[in-house]
Amino acid sequence: MASVKFYDKGGDEKSLKIQQELKKHFGKVPNVFKAMGRSGDFLEAVLNLSEKAGKIIDPRTREMIMIAVSAVNGCTYCLDAHRTAALQLGITDEQISAVIEIAATISFFNAFNGAIDLESDLKSK
């Protein structure tokens, strides 16, 4: 259960309007947007940032990046959401697993190198 109130019926007017658009797109208002729904200005800003970030990258690659980050951050909600979107874009379960393998491997290297404060000797010029 979420540790915050859902604002799908109690957010401000702008938030409720945005959530109606989200409902048209998803067929429901996803819980993440209910949780963010107290302030329409905040919800709008988050959605705008999400839309603009990495906009030059193709949708399949964007979803694979979001899957990788969600996996290493341990966010099951985001992983489920972006896996669903990836499958709709024709990305296979095998490709999703491969992306998670890559993310987990680089996460291991990040943790190892950070733990021993390893000096970088592989910098670009």
- Say yes or no to pLDDT of 1 above 70: no
Q: Is 117 exposed, middle or buried (CB count within 10 Å of its CB: 0-12, 13-18, 19+)?
A: exposed
- Say yes or no to pLDDT of 2 above 80: no
pTM assigned to the model: 0.87
Provide, rounded to the nearest whole percent, the portion of the chain with pLDDT above 70: 98
Q: Give me the residue spans of the domains in the chain.
A: 7-53, 56-117
Average pLDDT, integer, range 57-75:
97
Band the pLDDT of 8: cuts 50, 70, 90.
Answer: confident
Amino acid identity at 106: I
Condensed to tens digits (0 to 9), the pLDDT of residues 86-124 reads 999 999 999 999 999 999 999 999 999 999 999 999 999
Exposure letters 52-61 (e unless 16+ CB within 10 A, then b): eeeeeeeeee
